[in-house]
Structure 1
Amino acid sequence: MILITAPTSTIGSQLVTDLLEAGAPLRLIARRPEQIAPEVRERVDVVVGSHGDAAVIDRALNGVETVFWLSPNLPDSVAVNDSFAGFARPAVEALARHSVERVVGISALGRGTPQAARAGHVTATLALDDLIASSGVAYRALTCPSLMHNLLNHVGAIKQQGAFFMAADADLQVPTVASRDVAAAAARLLLDPSWTGAGEVPCLGPEDLSPNDWARVVSDVLGTEVRYQQVPTAALIERLVGFGYTDAMAQAMADMFDAKNDGLDNAEPRTAASTTPTTFRQWCEDVLEPAVHRVTA
């Protein structure tokens, strides 16, 4: 039995589809089970609740050999570690109790770099990896740069202003990866009972692109000019606090962008194994363009 946390998330929902196609027995933890498609619900076991709840995770782990772990971003956390290691601690403590064999988690690039010590969400994510590995379970961290999917947060601005706004350096070329490729990598690991120990599996996409490169590709795909504008991290913090982030969580997000702008995501060497197939252009054609067209003026 494979336990999937965050099954309605971008990566989680694609992972569930991949595993069902492979015939794997699944159990899903979901706070909002109504968001699970009916055709999925009839083929899986669903435990209702949060995977950060000790009683819920204890119940969900019964009879489970392998776990997919994805921590949520909790913008109202007092500290960024509360959203990662703090949230996961009840589950980590339950892994040995239930003799779980393997865990696959979504993580970040940058381990061993100077930037990783001051990278907000990334620093907290790497600390979570260490916590899971310390339980003695076999663990693989899928280490990823920013997801192409994050650009969907800007479809309104793309449609209405012909622009998108982030804190990333405009000309810094970095890897970016499609969520469907991360899900596919997770599925391969979850279906493979042969691996042991702890390690990282980088997922780097097929190419390094800057935000200005993204703007040129988006413009070409949409057939209209779209520009990129970098915003200062101070403005990012103000915006996030306006959205309900605590000061600490907003600062952690800004720290992450500062670290990425300082080369955090460029430290991992690209190899054939870490290169995933979906190009940014293909993702724009398949995902972004339909999303932009659905935006009403």
Structure 2
Amino acid sequence: MKIVVTTPTGNVGSRVVPLLLQAGVRPTLLVRDPDRLPGPLRERVDAVRCDQGDGDAVVRATEGADALFWVDPPTEDGDPVEGYARMGANGARAVRENGIARTVFLSSGGAELRSGAGEIDGLGRTEEMLEATGAHVLHLRCGYFFTNLLFELEALRTEGVLRTTLPLDHPMPWVDPRDIGDVAAARLLSASWTGQHAQAVQGPADLTWSEVAAVLTEALGRPVRAVRVGDDDVRARLRAAGLGERRIEGVVGMSAFMRDGYRPKDTRTLLTTTPTTLASWAYAQLRPLL
């Protein structure tokens, strides 16, 4: 079985790769810089230097693949929706031209809306392009990554503040990316599923931002409070960081659609619930950094 993994050093891909190795598979990894892979890992995989923005290179690298784990990597495109869609088009082309039987795509809750969800709209367009290939496709529509809290390290360290544009009592699924990797690896290793499906990956519970602050207070051993800020505050922070207007609106749009009454199409079930709690992740991963 030839399984190809994109973004193998990312939060999810870095979990998928060792699971495939432990299952006895030698995966093919598409990576811009193979030297970024740990030395012991490079000996056990087939690492291909590949920019996912180069459609010809993606097709060559995935030739003969039985299964593909596709992630739309961030791009420098001024419009993040167009950037994700451009990457998705290359993935779909590889599936179509190489006859890849099964693809597991790292998507997001909100992608099913197809429009109105900020930069997530680019993932929705990728879903459509992969489905148009006629191949077997599974979209993993994931909740909010625990690892997004790493972007708030400075505010947590100096102010004990967690900022959000969402109402503090707004519940949403929070998930450990490693658990997403578990689901992805299991699906990549299975040849028994067919058709085109979506499966949510929603962590163990929906949490409000107030509840997240309480969990972090306990796990980190320091007070943390959630504070609601306006969209314009976020815009100002992103402009100061050098982002262009379309990228800024792509970020703001990801919160705006959730405030407008969005509820995930995929309801929580045994299949969508994963085990790692925010408390255990924060104690093990976030606390040592503060």
TM-score range, shorter chain: over 0.9
% of aligned pairs identical? Answer: 29
> Which residue does the alignment assign to 1:56?
57
> Which residue does the alignment assign to 1:103?
103
Spell out, residue by residue over 1:225-248, the C-alpha distance to the aligned partner (whole angstroms, 9 max, x if none): 111122211221222233232211
How far has the Cα of 1:54 moved from its partner?
1.8
Cα pair 2:219 2:280 within 8 Å, conserved: no
> Which residue does the alignment assign to 1:130?
128
Distance 1:216 1:149 in 2: 17
Spell out, residue by residue over 1:28-84, the C-alpha distance to the aligned partner (whole angstroms, 9 max, x if none): 11112222111111100111121221232122112211110111222x323233221
> Which residue does the alignment assign to 1:213?
211
Cα pair 1:4 1:27 within 8 Å, conserved: yes
> Which residue does the alignment assign to 1:121?
119
SS of structure 2 residue aligned to 1:139: strand
Cα pair 2:111 2:123 within 8 Å, conserved: no
> Which residue does the alignment assign to 1:4?
5
> Which residue does the alignment assign to 1:15?
16
User: What letter corresponds to residue 199 of structure 1 in structure 2?
Assistant: H
Among 136, 140, 143, the alignment partner of 1:142 is: 140
Spell out, residue by residue over 1:193-217, the C-alpha distance to the aligned partner (whole angstroms, 9 max, x if none): 1111111011111111111111111
Distance 1:222 1:216 in 2: 10
> Which residue does the alignment assign to 1:196?
194
> Which residue does the alignment assign to 1:295?
none
How far has the Cα of 1:143 moved from its partner?
0.5
Closer, same or farther in 2 for the Cα pair 1:254/1:269, shift >3 Å?
same
> Which residue does the alignment assign to 1:77?
77
Within a 5 Å distance, the mapping from 1:174-253 to structure 2 comes to 174-253=172-251
Closer, same or farther in 2 for the Cα pair 1:169/1:218, shift >3 Å?
same
Distance 2:103 2:112 in 1: 22
> Which residue does the alignment assign to 1:173?
171
Q: CA RMSD in A?
A: 1.6
User: What letter corresponds to residue 129 of structure 1 in structure 2?
Assistant: E
Closer, same or farther in 2 for the Cα pair 1:133/1:267, shift >3 Å?
closer
How far has the Cα of 1:112 moved from its partner?
5.4
Within a 5 Å distance, the mapping from 1:248-287 to structure 2 comes to 248-287=246-285
| Unaligned segments of structure 1, at least 5 residues | 293-297
Cα pair 2:220 2:286 within 8 Å, conserved: no
How far has the Cα of 1:124 moved from its partner?
2.0
How far has the Cα of 1:266 moved from its partner?
4.6
User: What letter corresponds to residue 195 of structure 1 in structure 2?
Assistant: W
Closer, same or farther in 2 for the Cα pair 1:179/1:217, shift >3 Å?
same
SS of structure 2 residue aligned to 1:85: helix
Spell out, residue by residue over 1:94-133, the C-alpha distance to the aligned partner (whole angstroms, 9 max, x if none): 22221211110111123555xx631112222112101111
SS of structure 2 residue aligned to 1:28: strand
SS of structure 2 residue aligned to 1:82: helix
Spell out, residue by residue over 1:117-174, the C-alpha distance to the aligned partner (whole angstroms, 9 max, x if none): 3111222211210111101121000001211111111122211221122323211111
Using CA pairs below 8 Å that are at least 6 residues apart, which structure has the higher relative contact order?
Answer: 1
TM-score of the aligned structures, taking structure 1 as reference length: 0.92
Q: Does residue 36 of structure 1 match 2:37?
A: yes
User: What letter corresponds to residue 165 of structure 1 in structure 2?
Assistant: R
How far has the Cα of 1:223 moved from its partner?
1.5
Aligned positions, number:
289
Cα pair 1:29 1:46 within 8 Å, conserved: yes
How far has the Cα of 1:267 moved from its partner?
4.7
User: What letter corresponds to residue 5 of structure 1 in structure 2?
Assistant: T
Distance 2:87 2:81 in 1: 8
